[in-house]
Amino acid sequence: MRPAQKAWLALLLVSLLLAPASAYMGKQLARGPVDSFTLTDQNGENYTFGIDTDGVVVVSFIFTRCPDVCPVLTQSLTAVEAELTDAEREDVTFVSISVDPEYDTPEALTEYSERMGASWPHLTGTAEELQPVWDMFAVVVQQNVIDMHVMDYEPGEASVTVVNASNQSSHHMFAWSGWTLTQTMASTAGWTVNSSVSEYGRMLHGINGVDSPSDWSWWWELNLWNATNETWESSDVGMDGLDGMEHPHVAWMPSNGNRSLLPSPNETQATSISVQWPNGTHDQIGQETFTAYHITQGALNGAGVNSTIEATSYGHYLSSLGDEDAPDDYAWWWNLYGWNETSELWESSNVGMDDYLEPLHLAWAPSYTNVSTIPAPVSDDVDETVCNGHGWEMGSGSSKHCMCDSGYTWAEGDQLSCVPETTEEYNVGHSTITYILNADLEPTIAWTGDSWLVEDFTADVRELLEKEQLGGYEADVTPSPSLLMTTTALLAAFAFVGVRRTKQDNE
């Protein structure tokens, strides 16, 4: 081999040594670039993918009615965004694309993105506009899965787990009696309630300081809304015996009042209370949906667990549970947890009980409690006959379906079974896929599901930024000391061989 050839070989070896090695945590892909497309963002403006995107691009697929996978995924991506430095964030574009265009209007996407704290573009369009986008990303949208996941919220299936200061736990199902309905709705309205308990049950004496007279010339009468007849009717059971799930709209009025003047409730609301005051005026307060406050109050009241839930300017606050008061010095407090049905783990709530909407399973425990010791709200025993032993059931009645384990999906036409996945296409609705694209819009890394770790996903974004020489990594080309020593030794060796060969040729 001639000296010139050896020199070229040396340079080739050096270039190979200096080339960055990729070791992604997610699934590495080898695909061509995706085509440019235009959809509508949450602001109602056109967004052109490939022009409005810049640098490394993170693409996720969501639908705003999704109660489980999508919120977890979006929260994880906001955590990834927060992990990035300012320089890195400038060269990373996050984009979420809807798989439910029938419902996901710009207004729905605005509400979802603001609620999730996700500031990046959320895109929608018509089904005809979105289908080729889904096809490009090998995403199969299963409408039947979406329909299963957006089933009506069933508060009757909700529960509250209580862990006391001695680490003893108890589990209580949600109950919505007429008393709990009245108490919670009055608290929401800012009204005080005067009641007493006797051998005949609980009796209401006053609302917001307006008490019934001691001579019994009138008393507070409970009325129920008959949705079939669209009329108010006097209740033939007391507050304690009333099922508020069957009769979500109640009214209180003086026994000598005019029932026909009671205002009709808003039946689109989850529950409501109307009051006819002795002077003939009316007030009405309703709730669009159930919150952690309602579920907590209902479960504890139903189980007879003593508690103190204070109404403050910041919302409702649990200060005492099971006759155990949280200390005034905040050495510990009663902490709220929510059950993540996907990861099957308890997670500390980052919002108060008034802002925690439509919870299924909640837990209250002293803040010093090890979250891993809080018992699961569902049995850990695996029934091999349920979901073929590869998942767990969610919902009830016609909405019941399997939440299949990773690597499994529904059998064709059967949402109560889980079979191994045999396709490389990604089914969105039951699971999801998130891509990381390079600067040439080539899908480079794929992450399936929502149970991935934020630090692993962030590491992949940074790895790709470094490979693309973006995000502040442009000047970071200094090789390691060991690589420098190896390179120097190789160059010296080839130089020595070249000199020796020249001397031999001269002789």
Residues 35-66: pLDDT tens digits? 999 999 999 999 999 999 999 999 999 988 87
Query: In the prediction, which pLDDT does 412 show?
Result: 66
Query: In the prediction, which pLDDT does 471 show?
Result: 87
- Mean pLDDT value of segment 76-80: 95
Q: Which CATH superfamily is domain 31-148+425-467 in?
A: Glutaredoxin (3.40.30.10)
**With 60 as the cut, is the pLDDT of residue 198 above it?**
yes
Give me the amino acid identity at 49. F
Where residue 503 falls among pLDDT bands split at 50, 70, 90? very low
Q: Which residues pair with 385 in a beta bridge?
A: none
Where residue 13 falls among pLDDT bands split at 50, 70, 90? very low
Query: In the prediction, which pLDDT does 344 show?
Result: 86
Among 139, 135, 136, 134, which Cα is nearest to 123's?
134
CATH code of the domain made up of 152-389: 2.170.130.30
Structure tokens at 196: 């007493």
* Alpha-carbon distances of 246 from 177, 224, 225, 274, 430, rounded to whole Å: 10, 10, 10, 17, 31
Phi, psi angle pair for 234, to nearest 5° = -65, 135
Give CA–CA dist 175/186, Å, rounded: 17
**DSSP string covering 68-91:** SHHHHHHHHHHHHHHHS-HHHHHT
Residue 350: exposure state from Cβ atoms within 10 A (0-12, 13-18, ≥19)? exposed
Please give the model's pTM, rounded to 2 decimal places: 0.51
Contact (Cβ atoms closer than 8 angstroms) between residue 244 and residue 176: yes
Query: In the prediction, which pLDDT does 343 show?
Result: 82
Give CA–CA dist 116/114, Å, rounded: 5
Query: In the prediction, which pLDDT does 408 show?
Result: 74
Q: Which residues pair with 194 in a beta bridge?
A: 206
Q: Per residue in 325-359, pLDDT tens?
A: 999 999 999 999 999 887 889 999 989 999 999 89
Q: Where are the alpha helices (DSSP H) in 260-417?
A: 292-303
**DSSP string covering 187-239:** HHHT--EEEEEETTEEEEEEETTEEPPTT-SS-EEEEEEETTTTEEEE-SS-T
Query: In the prediction, which pLDDT does 417 show?
Result: 80
Contact (Cβ atoms closer than 8 angstroms) between residue 465 and residue 84: no
Phi, psi angle pair for 488, to nearest 5° = -60, -45
Query: In the prediction, which pLDDT does 425 show?
Result: 45
**With 70 as the cut, is the pLDDT of residue 24 above it?**
yes
Query: In the prediction, which pLDDT does 378 show?
Result: 66
Query: In the prediction, which pLDDT does 147 show?
Result: 56
Cβ neighbours of residue 112 under 8 Å, at least 6 residues apart?
A: 62, 64, 74, 118, 122
**With 60 as the cut, is the pLDDT of residue 383 above it?**
no
Which tops the pLDDT comparison, 251 or 488? 251
Query: In the prediction, which pLDDT does 56 show?
Result: 97
**DSSP string covering 91-139:** TEEEEEEES-TTT--HHHHHHHHHHHT--S-EEB--HHHHHHHHHHTTE
Phi, psi angle pair for 389, to nearest 5° = 75, 10
Q: How far apart are the two ends of the chain, measured CA to CA in Å? A: 18
Query: In the prediction, which pLDDT does 22 show?
Result: 54
Q: Which residue has the tokens 């040396």?
A: 10
Query: Of 223-237, 282-296, 472-486, which gets the smallest average pLDDT?
Result: 472-486
Give me the amino acid identity at 8. W
> 418-440: buried (b, 16+ CB within 10 Å) or exposed (e) per residue?
beebeeeebbbbbbbbbbbbbbe
Query: In the prediction, which pLDDT does 72 show?
Result: 84
Query: In the prediction, which pLDDT does 313 show?
Result: 87
**With 50 as the cut, is the pLDDT of residue 12 above it?**
no
Domain-wise residue ranges, the chain: 31-148+425-467, 152-389, 390-420
Query: In the prediction, which pLDDT does 194 show?
Result: 97
- Mean pLDDT value of segment 13-25: 54
Q: Per residue in 123-160, pLDDT tens?
A: 999 999 999 999 899 887 766 555 555 555 778 889 99
